[in-house]
Structure 1
Amino acid sequence: MTIRTLVGASLVLALTGAASAETTITVATVNNGDMIRMQRLMPDFNAKHPDIKVNWVTLEENVLRQRVTTDIASKGGQYDVLTIGNYEVPIWAKQNWLLPLDNLGADYNQADLMPQVATALTVDGKLYAAPFYAESSMLMYRTDLFEKAGLKMPENPDWDFILQAASKITDKAAGVYGICLRGKAGWGENMAFLSAMNNTMGGAWFDKGWKAQFDGPEWKKTLSTYLELMNKYGPPGASSNGFNENLALFQTGKCGMWIDATVAASFISDPKESKVADKVGFAPTPTRAGGSNHGNWLWSWNLAIPASSKKADAAKTFVAWATSPDYLKLVAEKDGIANVPPGTRVSLYQNPEYLKVAPFAKMTLTAIQSANTAHPSEKEVPYTGGQFVAIPEFQAIGTAVGQQFSAALAGKATADQALAAAQALTTREMTRAGYPK
């Protein structure tokens, strides 16, 4: 073999080695606006990390939860990065299903993470997921419709006022509905809203002995008020509407009020995406008359690495990029600072430029900071959470109860029938799991 042949062979081997050095990771994420934006901004990541290729699996919220739960519990290894909530993180970390996120880089500034958010993602002193955005809940409403109806939003609205306002601003002939609320079944869809609403009514999922409380007056008040609002003043087909569907309805001017996640505020206030951007007001989540619990939840969508991943280093590089201060700067440069992922970093709410253009910023911060996940109910309860109950069984039970309530909204069951079914199925599953004392 000649020297030229040897050199040529070596060059081929070198090139082949360089090509095979590219690592492909699969990221499972939810189909909401902030995650779609992240995919659009991937050229920045690709330029910085040409050796890492990202394969996206983007799913509707309920489907995402089902698939990632199945994959991680079975150690399938289908995904290298998971988009999961602060409900799953501590439960899965204790099962050793997630890798700790040590040292996300010198520029990551982990100390800048919102304390309430970081604490919910930390187990035994280690961070097991990096928050992409965090949220609480708020009331968003059309200021022009309120003005036309001679209404003024109270500083702390209650459900009686919401019923009154919804009746006055509904104009079905014009395609304007007084209120939009989640109706799609799912523990993180309609039950996120209804669990939080029940907290505002003074209710709870369980008493101190883990006995289900759907046969109590608070849940009856919660569901009857919800059904009255939606049946009289809500849009048609509401039992199929989740966060994304209601967002679209509000942006197109079809909703007078919407009680949901604070993260929606930037999307309904963006004139590029919302027809009513200049007619939006914000208020705290309603409580019952004379009550003080606004039921404002604490939720974060986070990026985590399953222990089953064979490409943990590349996955960690991606997670660090997507949740870093530099990513917020990138969004600000491309889409404006009002649209950066909210709720995760203290510094964002100390930035005068952000506060100037985001009228919802202070209310978002107040809602997040006042969310009492350690004591979500006014009653003494054996669980933590807020819009969920932080036990592994809740995912299945919450979805099953959500199906009953969605059926009631669709007119397939009465409120009493839905509550009785919820009580029975929750009691059965909790007894099977060994909870009632």
Structure 2
Amino acid sequence: MKTILKVMFLLCGIGFIPSIAKAQEKVIIDDEAPNGIVMVTIDKAGDEIVRIMNESQFRYIHDPKAPRFLLMDKKGKFALGIGGYVRATAEYDFGGIVDNMDFIPAYIPNASKVKNQFQMDASTSTIFLKLVGHTKLLGDFVVYTAGNFRGGDKVFQLRNAYMSFRNVTVGYTYGGFMDLAALPSTIDFQGPNGATFYRATQLAYTYKGLKNWRFHASIEVPSVDGATNDELSVAQQRMPDFTAYAQYGWGANSHLRVGGIVRSMTYTSTLSNHASDVTGWGVQASTSFNLSKKWEIFGQATYGKGIGQYLNDISNLNVDIVPNPEKEGKMQALPMLGWFAGAQYNICPKIFVSGTYSMSRLYSENGYPNDQPSSYRYGQYLVANVFWNVTPNMQVGAEYLRGWRTDFSNSTHHANRMNLLVQYSF
């Protein structure tokens, strides 16, 4: 035990050693033309550019940090950052496996002879372009695109593509029915199975005119997956999803948020000559707050009907709408619940540990699933990890995960996983 403590204090001490030499401003193109371009490190950018970069940064461990280098115009009003990170993980499952690169309890097999599994992954490595600036017409504005290699056969896949100005956001980005700042730090790319997480093409507005308060509303392109049969099928959607939240913040990184979503899901039946709709809805409460300089507490709880698309575990089950066994030719939205709670302890400025427990649950209604006892009923997710920021740009970590999947037959299957991480941001 004494040896472990000595190693931890040594690592913390390394984090305090200042860099020997700071990056200097580098001029790549420098001429007398008013539209000339200069390349600078972000610490050499103007105060306005740095402020917009920081304020537009999401508090989410898998979101790239601000770029190290910027292309700026001569007046310092516009800056284009190019950055991202290379991320490599090694994963080993034992005592049961999850049949996926991410740790998703819904993908724990009902029966498998294989109890161990080794995987490595670099497909979540991310590249982004970020343009920021300030004008009289647009105010502070951000244009952002990012992607990783999680497409089929590890091809490049768009993850974000949006523009933001005067508190309006237009494009493809994180949805309004979630809270990035409340999510825990995990090596597992998906995170807690009971968390809400999704992206959508949207038009959103955020009001920040009241001290400590933030109000947000959005209309989003819906994505609906359902369990179908020979009589029923999911149709083209006729209405957007509507989301809203109110958030109260205090201190540097503490907040409480309450939000909701309403959606209309369209389907067709061979027993009817017109399309029909099922209404889905959800409510959510989330928080993240500092108990002290060392301790941070976070959590989220979500409940609703027909919101499976947004809950990490249930989004893999195609149960936004399902057949109603008691009404032939009709579909229904099932009740569902997701929640997580956790804590983070900052050992020193460069090292922290965290732990989170999460649950996701699908409820039966009107006899569904009457003939599918092996269908997913609920999943549990437990994670504990440690992260070390070796340098401002390099992070390593280790993580233990345990998951349980329980079916409507009450049979339970479990899996364990160890994760190792090396990530370098640029």
Which category of TM-score, normalised to the shorter sequence, fits these structures? under 0.3
TM-score (ref. length: structure 2)? 0.22
Higher strand share: 2
Higher helix share: 1
**Which structure is richer in relative contact order (CA contacts within 8 A, separation 6 or more)?**
1
TM-score (ref. length: structure 1)? 0.22
